[in-house]
Every structure is written in C-alpha cells, then in structure tokens.
Amino acid sequence: MQDQSIVSAILLGLIEGLTEFIPVSSTGHILLAGHFLGFKSTGKVFEIVIQLGAILAIVSVYFARLWRMVIDLPRDARTRRFVAGILIAFLPAAVIGALAHDFIKTVLFETPMLICATLILGGIVLLYVDRWALQPKYHDAMDFPLPVCLAIGLFQCLAMIPGTSRSGSTIVGALLLGADKRAAAEFSFFLAMPTMAGAVAYDLFKNRDVLSGSDFTVIAVGFIVAFVSAVFVVRSLLDYVSRNGYALFGWWRIIVGAVGAIALLTLG
C-alpha cells in the first residue's frame, strides 16, 4: 500500500508542478487524478502542501530578482509599491480562505463533478478573453496601481472553487483590468508566493494532530517532484504566452473537464 501511495505521489507531484502556474487548475487536476487513482490523503493535506514545491520553484528561478527587490525595498518607491500591491492582492484570499477552509476541504474538494464543470466553464472564459481584442495599459507587473492589485486579489478568490484555477482567475482578472499577457502571468507568479505559502501553513496547522510519519513521506515525494517539474514551467511559460496567448490552456481545460465528466458518469 505504501509503495502504491509513493507511485501516486510521484504522478500527482508531476501533475502539480506542470499545472500550478498555467491557467488549468492544478488542484482540479490532482483531485480528479487522485479520485481515479484511489489516492486518499489525510485531511487532503497532500494536495495543498505539495504546492510548496511549486513555490520554491518560483523562488529558485526568480532568486536574483527577489534578492534585488529586498535590497531596493528601503530606498526604491517602485519596489515598495509592487510589494504592497502583492500583499494587498493576497489579503482577500487570506481572509476568505481562513473563514471557508472547512467547507472548501470537506465539500468542494470532495465533489469531482463540480471540478469538471468549473474546468469546462473556465476554459470557455479563457478562450473568450484570449480572443478579445483588449488594449493593454500595463506592460510591467511592477507598474500595476494598488486598486488594480486589490481587484486581481478578489478575482483570485474564485479559485477557492477547485477547477477554477488560481493562476487562471488572476491572469483573466489582470487581462480584463488592462495588463498585457506577459505582465498578467508574471503578477500571478509573484502573488502565488504569499498565497500558497499561507495556504500550506494554515492547512498544516489545522491538520497537525492527524498527520503521521507515513503521510510526511508521501508528501515529501510529491513535494520534490512538484518542485522539479514546476521549475521547467516557470522558465518557459512567460515566453510562451507572450507569443501564443492562452488558447491552448482553454482547450486543455475543456477536454480534461469533458473526459473527467464522462469517466465519472460511466465509471463512478
């Protein structure tokens, strides 16, 4: 059983790393995959904590830029505004996530057909927005006004419904608010750091009394695989979306959601 759990953890960690930063819903993918694999994690902690591997992928790729921001923070107004914008965008999800945590984990995470529906709906929205001839006003994530950052943070709250996608909701929100495709994706990267770190810390705290040593082994495996695969995505995504947009991810969502729904109806 432990060996089977390790194999499932490797597969789910790979899915997490490859999908966390593209607008297809990593949580929706690993919950659906876990359902069909028969994978059960204590308190659904695995599905949340392996996201920390993806966070470290961002930190490793952006380390030089993050360090420069730390140095510039006391003396550079633009850097201070950007950091303030990220924190402001993080606050809505922090508040709503804490208040709705139990409902999200015990109801929404346990409804695979809902995940399929949100994958399909989100794919349609992504295709529509990608084809919409929007005229971007912001070409650098560091130049977003603070009200725009707050609005993007409110869009991020939609991702508490699994299958919606944290990156998808923030990217679509940023595009609608005047960002170009590259700036929208980059802001989503930076916003992921406090959002996912907060979610992991809170989930571990809530489940501290029910986790065992075997749980931590499985989580560690998924964490490492998620980190390695996410590094690849972070390094290549910005250039891809700058050239090609988000249509591929919209179609991918629709296909996965439709296949998942058919499988649920036929296999259970």
Q: Is the pLDDT of residue 82 over 50?
A: yes
Phi, psi of 179, deg, nearest 5: -85, 150
Provide the 10 A C-beta neighbour count for residue 212. 8
Most confident by average pLDDT, 41-50, 185-194, 201-210:
185-194
State the pLDDT confidence band at 194, using cuts at 50, 70 and 90.
very high
Q: Using an 8 Å Cβ cutoff, are 146 and 77 in contact? A: no
Max distance between CA atoms of the chain, in angstroms, equals 61
Summarize pLDDT for 101-134 with one digit per residue, the tens: 888 888 888 889 999 999 999 999 999 988 887 8
pLDDT of residue 1: 44
Residue 179 per-residue DSSP state: B
State the pLDDT confidence band at 2, using cuts at 50, 70 and 90.
low
Provide the 10 A C-beta neighbour count for residue 93. 26
Q: Which amino acid is at 41?
A: S
Q: Is the pLDDT of residue 173 over 50?
A: yes
pLDDT of residue 207: 75
Provide the 10 A C-beta neighbour count for residue 133. 4
* Least confident residue range of 147-156, 194-203, 247-256: 194-203
Residue 138, beta-bridge partner list: 179
State the pLDDT confidence band at 96, using cuts at 50, 70 and 90.
very high
Q: Is the pLDDT of residue 37 over 60?
A: yes
Q: Is the pLDDT of residue 136 over 80?
A: yes
Calculate the CA 34 to chain-centre distance: 17
Residue range 64-89: mean pLDDT, rounded = 95
Residue 44 per-residue DSSP state: G
Provide the 10 A C-beta neighbour count for residue 140. 14
State the pLDDT confidence band at 43, using cuts at 50, 70 and 90.
low
Torsional class of 163: left (φ above 0), alpha (ψ -120 to 50), beta (otherwise): left
pTM comes to 0.85
Residue range 245-260: mean pLDDT, rounded = 94
Instruction: Specify the 3-state DSSP secondary structure of 156.
Output: helix
pLDDT of residue 200: 82
State the pLDDT confidence band at 3, using cuts at 50, 70 and 90.
low
The candidate with the shortest Cα–Cα distance to 226, out of 61, 13, 76, is 13
The C-alpha atoms of residue 221 and residue 119 are separated, in whole angstroms, by 27
Tokens of residue 212, six digits: 């065992």
Residue range 2-8: mean pLDDT, rounded = 74
Structural domains in the chain (count) = 1
pLDDT of residue 133: 78
Sign of CA dihedral 241, 244, 250, 255: negative
* Least confident residue range of 5-14, 34-43, 204-213: 204-213
State the pLDDT confidence band at 179, using cuts at 50, 70 and 90.
very high
Summarize pLDDT for 140-165 with one digit per residue, the tens: 999 999 999 999 999 999 989 988 98
pLDDT of residue 147: 97
The C-alpha atoms of residue 98 and residue 25 are separated, in whole angstroms, by 20
- Domain hosting residue 233, numbered range: 2-267
